[in-house]
Amino acid sequence: MKAGLKTLLIATVTATFVTGAAATEWNVSVWGKRRAFTEHIEKLAELVSARTNGAFTMNISYGGLSKNRENLDGISIGAFEMAQFCAGYHRDKNRAITVLELPFLGVETLEQEVAVAHAVYRHPSVVREMEQWNARIVMTSPMPQYNLVGTGEPRDTLAKFDGMRVRATGGLGEAFKSVGSVPTSVTATEAYQAMESGVVDTVAFAQHAHLSFGTINQADWWTVNLNPGTVNCPVVVNIDAYNDLSDAHKEAFDSSLDEAIDHYLANYADLLKRWDSVLAEKGVIKVEVAQSEIDAFRAKAGPIHEQWIKDATAAGLPGQELYDLVNSELAKAKAN
């Protein structure tokens, strides 16, 4: 009986290795701390582990593997298998997706943000550009339209934006520059210190980031409705690591992506419901910007779209095609 059991165990172990069901362990590079911005990654890791009975696990590191501006470089050399990055941190490395960071695109919901971003990610020019970094985009990290927190007198007119030192990256930085502000692209993890030390007067973030990085604790006021745009932060995998997955692990990964995004959206909706109480708790004044000022801001920022198309085209990208794709996909998302 003992000999028979031993033979059965040996056969089972041998079959496991023959079928390629060996354990897979991925390292994932993000930054800051766990927050609404990383909930889809946390959920993805949970789902993949559950669907493979613990045979495919993800170790999520908050700053321990790489600096946030270097995650794409880390992916390219295989330093880790998955990472999150923001396009505005290094626009020269991911030019095609910066179309999603143009100001005043008209995106109104996180669901629309997901639909538009994922359509752009599938465009051949985006796929090719990411392949240069041995990277494949698997999902976005949708964020609401950014708004400002600041100290002192509220900045609620374009005249008050003139000379304002603002933490804003990518297309948002260009938008604020168009009305005389002085943008700086310090990283999210540096924003609190920049605000505390007076390097910047205001910080443009989505709600979760004002909470996670503490800028809300420095704030006297918050713009409720400026909504100039947002940044785009994809989650990417190393192509070689993805291709090396067994069919079963690849299926577990791919089938979990939509559910991870759905979890992210539900979690962020809960945060937005609590936002007013957070402002009240911290004594932050809600500032409404007049529609006439927003319209004037949009008009000033308008040429940024045309310039992006010209610059992208000059760089060998289908600038107009990408820009039109954003608008057509946004129209579809709004219709749905």
Task: Tell how strand 221-223 and strand 165-167 pair up.
Answer: unpaired
Q: What is the pTM of this model?
A: 0.87
**pLDDT tens string 245-280:** 999 999 999 999 999 999 999 999 999 999 999 999
Same domain, 67 and 196: no
Can you give the pLDDT at residue 22? 80
Residue where a domain stops, chosen among 271, 302, 326:
271
- Residues 219, 242 contacting (CB under 8 angstroms): no
Q: Spell out the per-residue pLDDT of the chain, length 336, in tens.
A: 444 434 434 444 433 433 445 899 999 999 999 999 999 999 999 999 999 999 999 999 999 999 999 999 999 999 999 999 999 899 999 999 999 999 999 999 999 999 999 999 999 999 999 999 999 999 999 999 999 999 999 999 999 999 999 999 888 999 999 999 999 988 889 999 999 999 999 999 999 899 989 999 999 999 999 999 999 999 999 999 999 999 999 999 999 999 999 999 999 999 999 999 999 999 999 999 999 999 999 999 999 999 999 999 999 999 999 999 999 999 999 998
Count of structural domains within the chain: 2
Angle between the 110-121 and 257-282 helix axes, to the nearest 10 degrees? 140
How far out from the chain centre does Cα 190 lie?
A: 17
Which tokens hold the place of 211?
């909470």
Same domain, 286 and 300: yes
Task: Give the dihedral sign, CA 53/54/56/58.
Answer: positive
Is residue 1, in this structure, part of any structural domain at all?
Answer: no
Burial class (CB in 10 A: 0-12, 13-18, 19+), 8: exposed
Domain that holds residue 321: 147-230+277-335
Is residue 5, in this structure, part of any structural domain at all?
Answer: no
Can you give the pLDDT at residue 21? 55
Can you give the pLDDT at residue 10? 40
Task: Give the dihedral sign, CA 142/207/263/241.
Answer: positive
Tokens 């809600």 correspond to: 286
Same domain, 56 and 181: no
DSSP 3-state assignment of 238? strand
Same domain, 312 and 177: yes
Same domain, 191 and 243: no
